[in-house]
């Protein structure tokens, strides 16, 4: 599954109510997303203390002259067709802040990657283009001379613009330049004590039902304990809101992660988690849940929205997907609270892991090499990428929408809270919160998130912090999946289609022996589809990524050797 871009934009306001958004990441069968970094073999260099993303509060001028704030209007295309923003500095306080501070107004347009391809073909390129880092159009923009290297623009117009070294190195083109600023990039050299990359995977269960049936959080630490807990739910026939509560909806890749399925072998080669003994164990475990009626057949057919509706109706006891938000359920019934439990471990006793959100971010914003305003736009990038502007972009302008409390946490203003409670869309139109995230850095937002007050918000915060202790650095694994349109990409698409079918067959199989048969059948089918060529490609990308990062091993257990 790939991230939902609409979800990112819509969910940013949830933080204002006390939740914490860690970013967006979902797993497919490989645990990968269709995203490709341009690692070129250069080791990332440690940045000095001033090189943190956005540590400069305002963009610094490269000379004695004050920054030019002469009014200009630039064009900006975003390759996300859901994104609609009309620049309105008269009524929108964020737009007003940006225009007042920089003199820049922005004419946004948006559309599909296909629309971007049409723009490229026509030569009618806006001043700024924001593209998903995994879209093939990115390569066209970088290699064709259409976009200016950001490092050259920074050196010429804004040498005080400190882009994290890890971002520069990760997105460096083979020509030696980097062309885009990444949104939601987690630059490790900017981390402070207590910082962590969060995950959207975990294990969560309804506390009210646990209390009712005498189930303890530690019961979920073992397979036997977890099965016993789910059996109690089934045998109790617990009903809620007219629904018989389903014991579990679990994803196979999350269970495999809990069982410690590795992603790298002792020699440093990439491991396909779907082919590990731990994943076979996960499929056998989920098959047991299905055969006992603890996880239903529709776990393999329902989409995210349908599962979300079940959770919101209180019809589910335990889940592994944090993106299945239970806030709507809690608002209707404060006793119906999901809390973190487990994680369940496998037979080998391996340390459990969860995939973190993508460390390499989401989109890249680039500057047209023919724009009339290269100096103004690179300074706009600098300004928008600062820590405080990340907060302003997320919440609305400081002073009007929020301020820091005595503990250095964001505290939304009474005026914002009142309007947001009345109509969230009206609040967004007035304050601009969550409408301009294309150069956002999430770490300052995570550090200063509003203090949790409600039990639901507290539980979510505790869950996020708890499962962050089971994450690992996924950056070396994020550049390996082949893009569509390549031979390897075509093989990958066929393999994924097959795996989806085989995954369902294994989980719904009549016996454990059938699970193992289907598991081995899939390996044989993949060989005929060209698996070795696909694997060789991914392993080479993996080795190149590690070389770029200056590391020999990527998997935590290998790094300790």
Mean pLDDT split into 10-residue runs, the chain, 561 residues: 36 36 36 36 32 36 61 97 95 98 97 94 95 89 94 97 93 93 93 88 96 96 98 96 96 96 96 97 98 95 90 95 86 94 95 92 96 97 96 97 95 94 92 96 93 87 92 89 82 94 96 97 96 96 90 90 56
User: Residue 360: CB partners within 8 Å, gap ≥ 6?
Assistant: 35, 37, 133, 170, 182, 185, 186, 475, 478, 479
Element (H, E) at 113: helix 113-122
Q: Are 307 and 251 in contact (CB under 8 A)?
A: no
From the list 282, 276, 275, 288, the residue with the least C-alpha distance to 256 is 282
The CA distance from 450 to 256, in Å, is: 34
pTM summary value:
0.76
Q: Residue 20 has what pLDDT?
A: 33
Q: Are 478 and 360 in contact (CB under 8 A)?
A: yes
Q: Residue 245 has what pLDDT?
A: 96
From the list 320, 346, 362, 382, the residue with the least C-alpha distance to 83 is 362
Q: Is 190 helix (H, G, I), strand (E, B) or coil?
A: helix
From the list 344, 305, 341, 312, the residue with the least C-alpha distance to 327 is 312
Q: Are 38 and 459 in contact (CB under 8 A)?
A: no
């Amino acid at each position: 599954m790939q991230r939902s871009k609409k979800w990112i934009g819509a969910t940013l306001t949830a933080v204002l109510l006390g939740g914490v958004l860690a970013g967006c990441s979902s797993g497919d069968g490989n645990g990968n997303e269709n995203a490709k970094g341009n690692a070129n073999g250069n080791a990332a260099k440690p940045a000095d203390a001033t090189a943190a993303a956005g540590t400069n509060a305002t963009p610094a001028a490269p000379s004695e002259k004050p920054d030019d704030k002469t009014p200009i209007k630039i064009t900006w295309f975003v390759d996300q067709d859901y994104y609609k923003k009309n620049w309105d500095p008269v009524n929108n306080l964020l737009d007003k802040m940006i225009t007042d501070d920089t003199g820049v107004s922005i004419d946004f347009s948006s559309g599909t990657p296909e629309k971007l391809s049409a723009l490229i073909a026509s030569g009618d390129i806006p001043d700024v283009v924001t593209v998903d880092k995994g879209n093939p159009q990115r390569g066209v923009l970088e290699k064709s001379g259409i976009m200016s290297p950001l490092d050259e623009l920074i050196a010429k117009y804004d040498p005080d613009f400190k882009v994290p070294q890890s971002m520069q190195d990760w997105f460096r083109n083979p020509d030696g330049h980097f062309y885009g600023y990444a949104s939601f990039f987690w630059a490790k050299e900017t981390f402070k004590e207590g910082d962590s990359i969060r995950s959207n995977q975990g294990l969560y269960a309804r506390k009210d039902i646990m209390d009712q049936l005498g189930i303890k959080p530690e019961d979920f630490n073992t397979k036997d304990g977890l099965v016993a807990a789910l059996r109690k739910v089934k045998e109790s026939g617990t009903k809620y809101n007219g629904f018989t509560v389903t014991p579990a909806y679990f994803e196979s890749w999350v269970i495999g992660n809990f069982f410690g399925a590795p992603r790298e072998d002792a020699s440093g080669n990439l491991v396909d988690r779907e082919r590990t003994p731990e994943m076979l164990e996960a499929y056998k475990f989920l098959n047991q849940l299905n055969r006992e009626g603890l996880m239903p057949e529709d776990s393999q057919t329902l989409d995210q929205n349908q599962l979300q509706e079940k959770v919101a109706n209180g019809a589910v006891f335990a889940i592994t997907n944090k993106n299945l938000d239970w806030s709507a359920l809690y608002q209707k019934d404060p006793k119906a609270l999901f809390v973190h439990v487990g994680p369940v471990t496998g037979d080998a006793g391996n340390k459990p892991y969860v995939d973190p959100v993508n460390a390499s971010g989401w989109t890249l914003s680039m500057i047209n090499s023919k724009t009339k305003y290269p100096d103004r736009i690179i300074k706009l990038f600098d300004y928008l990428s600062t820590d405080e502007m990340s907060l302003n972009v997320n919440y609305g302008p400081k002073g009007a929408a929020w301020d820091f409390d005595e503990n250095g946490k964001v505290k939304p203003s009474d005026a914002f809270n009142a309007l947001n409670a009345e109509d969230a869309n009206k609040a967004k139109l007035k304050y601009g919160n969550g409408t301009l995230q294309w150069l956002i850095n999430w770490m300052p937002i995570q550090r200063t998130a509003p203090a949790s007050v409600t039990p639901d918000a507290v539980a979510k915060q505790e869950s996020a912090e708890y499962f962050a202790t089971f994450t690992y650095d996924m950056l070396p694994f994020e550049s390996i999946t082949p893009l569509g349109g390549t031979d390897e990409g075509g093989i990958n698409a066929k393999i994924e289609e097959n795996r989806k079918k085989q995954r369902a067959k294994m989980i719904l199989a009549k016996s454990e022996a059938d699970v193992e048969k289907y598991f081995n059948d899939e390996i044989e089918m993949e060989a005929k589809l060209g698996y070795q060529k696909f694997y060789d490609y991914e392993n080479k990308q993996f080795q190149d990524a590690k070389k770029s990062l200056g590391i020999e091993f990527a998997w935590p257990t290998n790094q300790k050797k």
